[in-house]
Amino acid sequence: MSEFFWVSRHLGWGIFSLLVFTALWLLLTDLVWRLKDIRVRRLLAMMAAGWAVGAVLVVAGFCLLKG
Amino acid sequence: MLAVQIFVLLVLVLALGAWIACFPYPSPLVRHWLPPRKRWPERQIRGWLKTGRFDRGFLAYFYRDPERVAPSGTGVLAPADGLVTSADVRDGIRYLVIALSFWDMHVQSSPLAGRVVSVTAHGEDFMDGEGRDFAFLREKSCPVQKRMVIQTHEGTLAVRLITSVAARRIETWVEEGDQVERGQRIGRILLGSTVVLELPAATVLRVQVGERVRAGETVVAEASRAS
């Protein structure tokens, strides 16, 4: 699991993917908030759930590839 | 590999930084995907009005001057883009008031073909002359305007371009004695917000209050020969 964070002189692909995904997800949340007529609470709940699913998929993908 | 990762993360950090710096207004990264009203929210534009510093992209959008194709026929065309807010008759004249938003095209066009009889400007003393009897003038804290009277085959009509004393900039592109075509560009209000079309009271309106109209394209009334 340590390879998740760091591997031979560069960031682990797991944490790197998670950081990239999180940043893009934040920007996407902002875009959805501006485009859709939706309550902030509902949007945040939706996007948080989406982020959790995405994060689990990133970790699961990392584990499967390294498995 | 680490350099590539740092570069990617740096780009994302910059994107997030821009997002935070612009919040609650849209960052330059997402503007392209937003419709004009959300790309430049009203509150942000009002802020620019106070400071006098506008976003270049907004100004380019605001000053756009697209080609409009007038429909065939003799119908009276809308002189401006915007929302019809009233169409009251007073002293034999129907005042069709069109309110322009920040996102509407601000070039005005001639409702019918004809000859320009007069182009008059009213400054800050306008209120003393005509008073605040008109609702479309009461709404402005200090209205200034230009009024173009056009003699057409269907009668005399007038187009008023109204703005506030804060904006005070109205361009007219026709002069007394000029012949104008139906739908021809006649002027532009810079940061103004109201255009009033004065028609004979007998004119049959083709639009209702609350409808959106487009300059040089929407037929707002059927020409009446009464002047």
Beta strands in chain A (DSSP E): 6-7, 10-11
In this complex, do A9 and B2 lie within 8 Å of one another by their Cβ atoms?
Answer: yes
Residue B226, pLDDT score: 43
Confidence of residue B221 (pLDDT cuts 50, 70, 90): very high
Q: Residue B19's closest chain A neighbor by CA?
A: A27
For B143-172, the DSSP string reads EEEEEEEEEETTEEEEEEEEEETTT-EEEE
Measured CA to CA in angstroms, residue B94 lies from B17, B26, B205 at distances of: 53, 42, 10
Residues of B in contact with A34 (CB under 8 A): 26, 30, 34, 38
Match 């959300």 to its residue by tokens. Answer: B38
User: Would you state the structure tokens that stand for residue B108, as one six-digit string?
Assistant: 């005005």
Instruction: Tell me the nearest-neighbour CA distance from A5 into chain B, angstroms.
Output: 12
Is the distance from CB of B114 to CB of B74 less than 8 angstroms? no
User: How many other CB atoms sit within 10 Å of the CB of residue B183?
Assistant: 21
Is the distance from CB of B99 to CB of B82 less than 8 angstroms? yes
Is the distance from CB of B142 to CB of B165 less than 8 angstroms? yes
Measured CA to CA in angstroms, residue B8 lies from A20, A27, A29, A58, B103 at distances of: 8, 15, 20, 17, 36
- Shortest CB distance from B5 goes to which of A10, A24, A30? A10
Give the range of the structural domain holding residue A16, as residue numbers without chain letter: 2-66
Confidence of residue B224 (pLDDT cuts 50, 70, 90): low
Cα angle A26, A32, A38 (rounded to 5 degrees) comes to 120
pTM equals 0.79
Q: At what angle do helices B2-22 and A13-35 cross, to 10 degrees?
A: 20
Average pLDDT over residues B211-222: 95
Residue B24: cis peptide before it, omega within 30 degrees of 0: yes
**Pairing mode, if any, of strands B194-200 and B155-164?**
antiparallel
Specify the DSSP element, H or E, that contains A65. Answer: helix A40-66
CATH superfamily, region B76-222: Glucose Permease (Domain IIA) (2.70.70.10)
Is the distance from CB of B102 to CB of B48 less than 8 angstroms? no
List the single best residue of B16, B38, B42 to mutate versus A (max A Cβ within 10 A). B16
Among left, alpha and beta (phi > 0; psi -120 to 50; other), residue B168 is: left
Interface residue A38 vs chain B (CB under 8 A): no
Specify the DSSP element, H or E, that contains B107. Answer: strand B107-109
Could you give the residue range(s) of every CATH 2.70.70.10 domain in chain B?
Answer: 76-222
Is the distance from CB of B34 to CB of A35 less than 8 angstroms? yes
Interval B93-118: pLDDT, tens = 899 999 999 899 999 999 999 999 99
Top-ranked range on mean pLDDT: pick from A51-55, B43-47, B135-139: A51-55
In this complex, do A10 and B9 lie within 8 Å of one another by their Cβ atoms?
Answer: no
Residue B170, pLDDT score: 86
Query: Is B132's pLDDT higher than 70?
Result: no
CA nearest neighbour of B161 among B179, B185, B125: B185
Query: Is B215's pLDDT higher than 80?
Result: yes
Count the domains in chain A. 1
- Is the pLDDT higher at B142 or at B126? B142
In this complex, do A31 and B15 lie within 8 Å of one another by their Cβ atoms?
Answer: no
